């Protein structure tokens, strides 16, 4: 660009380009000698360039500043990380879809307040996380599109008197356009904060799934098992298989949240334009990128490895009066009585079953009719957990037919890249 604009002559521009390619090779091969006597990476590169090409190296810094160079490089790096996060999350969604299709018919308890609520399907539960992580993809993509403006050419903060072509350099570096204000260009770090925000939400979502894996694989639940790749034994208790990978993902939430708060605190009350405080932006972002990538990879591996127990899931789904709502719904839909009256009648039957230490389905029709004359043999049939799950055919419902439709829709989204 400098040569095209007549700011450098072609001979010097060619020499600088060839010298920089040599330096890139030296750095990548580990042969570049860094000197602590020089102030920073910029001065190290320029000094080595002078050793290679001589006096023209002094023109390298024309019409630019470390401020706009670092801001540009940092945006490119985080932009690449948002794309990596999208790619990794896409792999996790594909693994969840495999589980959803495999267990579309497996009936399990759905919970509210971690109390048994209503029967759902394993596939439906997996699809809930598909939707959750898809929103994470949307946040990373949104952040990536907003940060995709080039600071290069803003120089230190006020722009430059040289006739630079900022549109050309923006295109060369894959940006949508140059940033419109030179002060904002060198001092903005909200793009980094936004990446950290998306990462913090994503890791929190990963932590929710990790916690469920911890519960599901415990001896109290026994809903599923994990293999040795993602668990460890106890040093003293030979019977134990600890879900270490899930627990570590759960803990990483604090690490990423800490990085977000750290950078927000750095930016708080920071006057325009550049201040050395901004040097504290990198460490938090680099650590978060590593943590996020590792966490998504570990979760993807666990989802692929997770083996649900259909018999145990169904048994648990039949406990805790999970079909009480189905009886209430039947009284409203079929018998035509008001919801509040139906709710009250079902509550009385639950208390009766508790007193007898049995399930609702274990009560006789006569017992039920003593509470509500509207109950028939047909009503007793809705108390089956599998039938309950299969009946929830509303859009987004837990019925296996809906789960398969949702999974097919997502398969097509992944195939077309439209998600």
Residues taking part in catalysis: 113, 234
Look up residue 105 and give its two tokens.
């018919």
User: CA angle 146-60-27, nearest 5°?
Assistant: 75
In this structure, the number of other CB atoms found within 10 A of the CB of residue 213 comes to 23
Phi, psi at 66, each rounded to 5°: -60, -30
Look up residue 308 and give its two tokens.
């649900």
Phi, psi at 150, each rounded to 5°: -90, 125
Q: What count of Cα atoms within 13 Å lies in the side-chain half-sphere of residue 255? A: 18
Provide the CA 146 distance to its chain's centre, in angstroms: 18
In this structure, the number of other CB atoms found within 10 A of the CB of residue 156 comes to 16
- The per-residue DSSP string of 285-339 comes to HHHHHHHHHHHHHHHHHHHHH-EE-HHHHHHHHTSTTTTHHHHHHHHHHTS---H
Q: Which residues pair with 232 in a beta bridge?
A: 242
Q: Which residues pair with 224 in a beta bridge?
A: 308
> Do the Cβ atoms of 285 and 78 come closer than 8 Å?
yes
Look up residue 294 and give its two tokens.
């590792």
Q: How far apart are CA 166 and CA 182, in angstroms?
A: 11
- Three-state DSSP at 239 gives coil
Find, among 336, 317, 335, the residue nearest to 387 by Cα: 317
Secondary structure of 111-170 in the HEC alphabet?
EECCEEEEEEEHHHHHHHHHHHHHHHHHHHHHHHHHCCEECCCCCCCCCCCCCCCHHHHH
User: CA angle 178-47-9, nearest 5°?
Assistant: 55
Q: How far apart are CA 214 and CA 302, in angstroms?
A: 11
């Amino acid at each position: 660009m400098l040569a095209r604009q007549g700011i450098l002559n072609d001979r010097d521009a060619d020499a600088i380009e060839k010298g920089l390619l040599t330096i890139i090779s030296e750095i990548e091969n580990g042969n570049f000698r860094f000197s602590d006597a020089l102030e920073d990476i910029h001065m190290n590169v320029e000094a080595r360039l002078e050793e290679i090409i001589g006096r023209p190296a002094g023109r390298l810094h024309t019409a630019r500043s470390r401020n706009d160079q670092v801001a540009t490089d940092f945006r490119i790096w985080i932009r690449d990380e948002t794309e990596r996060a999208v790619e990794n999350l896409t792999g996790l969604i594909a693994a969840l879809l495999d589980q959803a299709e495999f267990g579309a018919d497996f009936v399990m308890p759905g919970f509210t307040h971690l109390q048994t609520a209503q029967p759902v399907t394993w596939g439906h539960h997996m699809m809930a996380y598909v939707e959750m992580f898809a929103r994470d993809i949307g946040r990373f993509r949104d952040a990536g599109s907003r940060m995709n403006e080039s600071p290069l050419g803003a120089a230190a903060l006020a722009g430059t008197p040289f006739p630079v072509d900022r549109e050309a350099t923006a295109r060369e570096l894959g940006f949508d356009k140059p940033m419109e204000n030179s002060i904002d260009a060198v001092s903005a770090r909200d793009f980094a904060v936004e990446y950290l925000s998306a990462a913090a939400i994503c890791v929190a979502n990963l932590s929710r799934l990790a916690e469920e894996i911890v519960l599901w694989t415990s001896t109290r639940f026994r809903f599923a098992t994990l293999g040795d790749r993602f668990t460890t034994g106890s040093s003293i208790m030979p019977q134990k298989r600890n879900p270490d990978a899930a627990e570590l993902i759960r803990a990483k939430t604090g690490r990423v949240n800490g990085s977000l708060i750290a950078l927000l605190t750095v930016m708080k009350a920071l006057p325009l334009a550049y201040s050395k405080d901004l040097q504290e932006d990198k460490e938090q972002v680099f650590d978060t990128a590593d943590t996020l990538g590792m966490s998504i990879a570990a979760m993807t591996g666990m989802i692929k490895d997770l083996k649900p127990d259909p018999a145990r899931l169904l048994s648990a789904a039949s406990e805790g009066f999970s079909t009480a709502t189905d009886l209430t719904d039947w009284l409203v839909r079929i018998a035509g009585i008001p919801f509040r009256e139906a709710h009250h009648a079902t509550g009385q039957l639950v208390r009766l079953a508790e007193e007898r230490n049995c399930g609702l389905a274990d009560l006789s029709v006569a017992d039920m009719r003593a509470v509500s004359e509207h109950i028939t043999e047909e009503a007793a049939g809705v108390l089956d957990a599998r039938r309950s799950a299969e009946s929830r055919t509303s859009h987004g419902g837990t019925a296996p037919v809906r789960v398969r439709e949702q999974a097919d829709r997502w398969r097509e989204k992944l195939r077309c890249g439209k998600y």
